[in-house]
Amino acid sequence: MVSSILILPILTLIIILFLALVVFFADPNKETNRVFSLFALWAGFWVFSVFMADFSKNLDSVLFWSKISILGPAVFSPILVYLSYIFPIEKNKPRNWQIFLLFLPTFTFISSWFMDINIKKVWFEPWGSNFTPGSLYYLLVFFIFSYFVLSFKNFYKSYKFLFGKEKKQIRFVFFGFFTGVIIGLTTNAILPIFGYAQFSSVGPAFSVMSLAGFIAYSITANQLFNIKVILTQVFVLIVSLILLFQIIIAPSTGIITLNIGIFISFCLFGYYLVKSVIKEVKLREQAENLAKQEKELKEKAESLVHEFERLDTAKNQFIMATQHHLRTPLTSMIGYIDLLLSGSFGKIPLKIKGVLLKFQASTSRLGRTISEFLDISQFQLGKEVVSLEPNVDITPILEEMEQEISFEAKNKGIYFKVEKSNIPLIVADSNKLKIAFFNIADNAIKYTIKGGVSVSSKVLDNKLQIIFKDTGMGLTQEDKESLFTKLFERGAQAQKAFATGRGIGLYLSYQIIKAHGGKLWADSEGRNKGSIFYIDLPIK
């Protein structure tokens, strides 16, 4: 049976060497992994030399190992500092001369380890060996302390400016430092006060092992710094260490075999346990990520809606302000022409009256155009344009249309006839319906050179049908398809329509009739065979 005080350093050594191997083979191409393995190997060498010094049976041997034990810290301290520059990211990797400077004290220790300024004297105590340190030894303690502080400072600097996974990685290194200090304080300061000095030789080994363990975990664990996973891993590790310990202290071969069996089974079980916990955590992280993405998309959509609403309001305000500003001077023109024509400023010559009438026709057309553009914009914005009222008599609209359009038709040398008898009352917005009728009539006049336009109406099962028949240039099949809607659905065509004026009036008429629950369509036997425009309006 091996004494348990001997077991501790052996176990520490095994664990440290194990960490060196695992981290190295996790990714031998990475400098971080190689540097860490070097650190762990030298730490292992140090634990080994301290162990040898403690348990050697003769003083020469004790002196030799005691002296040699300064080599471990002399090498692994600068390696730790170097690691603090390249892990978790290579932020400012030291240059070669800086590395040389970093290792300069190490060369001093290596070249003088055998001298008496290192260890003056060794002797035996009841619990092991003891020694009188020389000046080199004190220098070493100072050296270790300052290098550890330097590496901690480097890690802390990275910690402050990194985030996410790297930040978590450094947090693990901090845990390592922290537990290392706690263990060291416990075994070498607190326990000796209570008379348990025998742990002081293994305490520093434990400290270094814990630091190495945390750094190793931090290097190898990919993005999974989940507490659940870590606890499971720690649990499996502790139990397997206990089981390993059981194998070493087992009294007989039978029990050793049994314990090995238990150890192997537990290792397998632990492996699958950790694996399943990692899987579960990963799935949950995925779900969380999805939820986060969904939330972000939702927020984006909401902000787009807000942006859209803002643009919609701005557009609306612009349209409303524009039409108001256009109408104000137009009102003066319309007003003064009316005053002139009605003789408010005295009698006017016939010739000038003719000019004023043309002027009046233009201003009222301009007024209608402004209304039309406003209505079109409102239709396109999906706003309510038409306000329907019951029992509307459309005869006055037809009369007004006849009067005004006849004037234009006469100028052009064509006829414009409106037949308006027995027209039932309908549900309508008379202002908007007037715009629709005027536009269809205007359009018919525009495309008719000889002959003329006649408007008639009839009642067809709950529908009032108004028919505009012209002897004009007619429509092709293509015209018929694009007359009312498609012009506006195609960007380029719509621009053409705005430029020539064609299409706007018909588009608007179509929308107005549609808003009345009615229908507007056109028919023609072809080019130069005239066309017929039909308006169906429901009677209620």
Partner 1 sequence: MEKKILLIEDDFAIIDIYKTVLETNGFDLEVITWGEKALEKIEKVKDRKEPKSDIVLLDLILPDMNGIEILRKIKGQEETKDLPVFILTNYDSKDLAKEAKSLNVEDFILKTDCTPSELIKLIKKKLKLD
399 near partner 1, rule: CB under 8 A:
no
Closer by beta carbon to partner 1, 47 or else 337: 337
357 near partner 1, rule: CB under 8 A:
no
What 3-state DSSP class applies to 337? helix
The CA-to-CA distance between both ends of the chain, in Å, stands at 109
Given candidates 5, 230, 370, 427, which one binds partner 1 under the rule CB under 8 A? 370
**Shortest distance in whole angstroms from residue 332 CB to partner 1:** 4
CB atoms within 10 A of CB 294: 10
**Shortest distance in whole angstroms from residue 335 CB to partner 1:** 4
Angle subtended at Cα 213 by Cα 148 and Cα 143, rounded to the nearest 5 degrees: 15
For residues 156 and 163, give the distance between their C-alpha atoms in angstroms, rounded to a whole number: 12
Given candidates 320, 355, 449, 539, which one binds partner 1 under the rule CB under 8 A? 320
**Shortest distance in whole angstroms from residue 308 CB to partner 1:** 20
Return the sign of the alpha-carbon dihedral for residues 472, 477, 480, 482. Answer: negative
Closer by beta carbon to partner 1, 254 or else 346: 346
Evaluate whether 468 touches 513 at the Cβ level (below 8 Å).
Answer: no
- Cis peptide bond upstream of 192, omega within 30: no
Beta-sheet pairing, 463-470 with 452-460: antiparallel
- Which H helix or E strand runs over 121? strand 119-125
Evaluate whether 149 touches 180 at the Cβ level (below 8 Å).
Answer: no
Pick from 19, 23, 77, 68: nearest CA to 45? 68
For residues 505 and 443, give the distance between their C-alpha atoms in angstroms, rounded to a whole number: 8
Given candidates 179, 220, 378, 456, which one binds partner 1 under the rule CB under 8 A? 378
383 near partner 1, rule: CB under 8 A:
yes
Closer by beta carbon to partner 1, 60 or else 384: 384
- Mask for 201-240, x = binds partner 1 (CB under 8 A): ----------------------------------------
Q: What type of residue sits at position 46?
A: W
Q: Near partner 1 by CB under 8 A, which window of 38-46, 153-161, 369-377, 486-494? A: 369-377
Given candidates 144, 215, 219, 385, which one binds partner 1 under the rule CB under 8 A? 385
For residues 392 and 426, give the distance between their C-alpha atoms in angstroms, rounded to a whole number: 5
Q: Which of residues 422-451 bind partner 1 (CB under 8 A)?
A: 431
Residue 106 — φ and ψ, nearest 5°?
Answer: -60, -40
Q: What type of residue sits at position 320?
A: M
Size of the site for partner 1 (CB under 8 A): 26
Closer by beta carbon to partner 1, 55 or else 336: 336
What 3-state DSSP class applies to 119? strand
396 near partner 1, rule: CB under 8 A:
no
Closer by beta carbon to partner 1, 110 or else 320: 320
338 near partner 1, rule: CB under 8 A:
yes
- Mask for 157-176, x = binds partner 1 (CB under 8 A): --------------------
Closer by beta carbon to partner 1, 101 or else 321: 321
- Judged by the rule CB under 8 A, the positions of this chain that interact with partner 1 are 320, 323-324, 327-332, 334-336, 338-339, 342, 344, 367, 370-371, 374, 378, 383-385, 387, 431
